[in-house]
Amino acid sequence: GAVVSQHPSWVICKSGTSVKIECRSLDFQATTMFWYRQFPKQSLMLMATSNEGSKATYEQGVEKDKFLINHASLTLSTLTVTSAHPEDSSFYICSARGPGLTLETQYFGPGTRLLVL
Amino acid sequence: GQQLNQSPQSMFIQEGEDVSMNCTSSSIFNTWLWYKQDPGEGPVLLIALYKAGELTSNGRLTAQFGITRKDSFLNISASIPSDVGIYFCAGLFFSGNTPLVFGKGTRLSVIA
């Protein structure tokens, strides 16, 4: 299957700092990327959908000024958690679709575990 | 948001047994995807289904896209310890950038 990478795989930061998570599609062009958040023993919760070169569409209840998403190229999307607080601690997973793949198929990155102290 | 009804929520089975789990929806989908997630990892795509009635296998895994387009099942035959994990179904009514709709997952435990 197609490969999606995330960096870093885990990060610990102090409250009030900002954290950037990168998501890359390694062997295909991702026209659409999705960012999810997952709490322990729960399903994935969609945060936002982003298309290359345009503003992300955020799900209801997700603060766009807090979770900044940039999809600047067909292989890279970034999620920046601004002024992180302990309640932002979670497992963040990106996912991607694109031409060259069956469009209805979606591949996930390995996730980034964020711990805010 | 919208969710699929996935059952069972959890299963404890003996190694070698067959496993079956399913997802149902009140809405129709034109794609069903099944993923497995190991602890601390992202979901890995197991099987993708694109046509109503389609039956697809991937090794010991078999999944079917229901005729009504509102359900799908996943079977695992002759389970082994590495089958342990959380299995998610996901449905998609594809229209541009529509996101997947996920089930809540089935947590599978295999007793050796």
- In whole angstroms, give the CA distance from residue A10 to residue A32: 24
Residue with more model confidence, A17 or A40: A17
Residue B35 reports pLDDT greater than 90: yes
Residue B1 reports pLDDT greater than 60: no
Q: Is the peptide bond before B99 cis (omega within 30 degrees of 0)?
A: no
Q: Among A8-17, A53-62, B62-71, whose mean pLDDT is lowest?
A: A53-62
Share of chain B above pLDDT 70, in %: 96
Is the CB of A108 less than 8 angstroms away from the CB of B45?
A: yes
Mean pLDDT over each residue of chain A, to the nearest integer: 91
Chain-centroid distance of CA B70 in Å reads 13
Chain A residues 21-60 within an 8 A CB cutoff of chain B? 32, 34, 41-44, 46, 49, 51, 57, 59-60
pLDDT tier at B95, thresholds 50, 70, 90: low
pLDDT tier at B53, thresholds 50, 70, 90: very high
Phi first, then psi: what are they for A88, rounded to 5°? Answer: -85, -10
Which pair of tokens denotes residue A108? 């996930």
pLDDT tier at A27, thresholds 50, 70, 90: confident
Residue with more model confidence, A9 or A31: A9
Residue of B nearest to A31 (CA): B97
pLDDT tier at A98, thresholds 50, 70, 90: confident
Residue A112 reports pLDDT greater than 90: yes
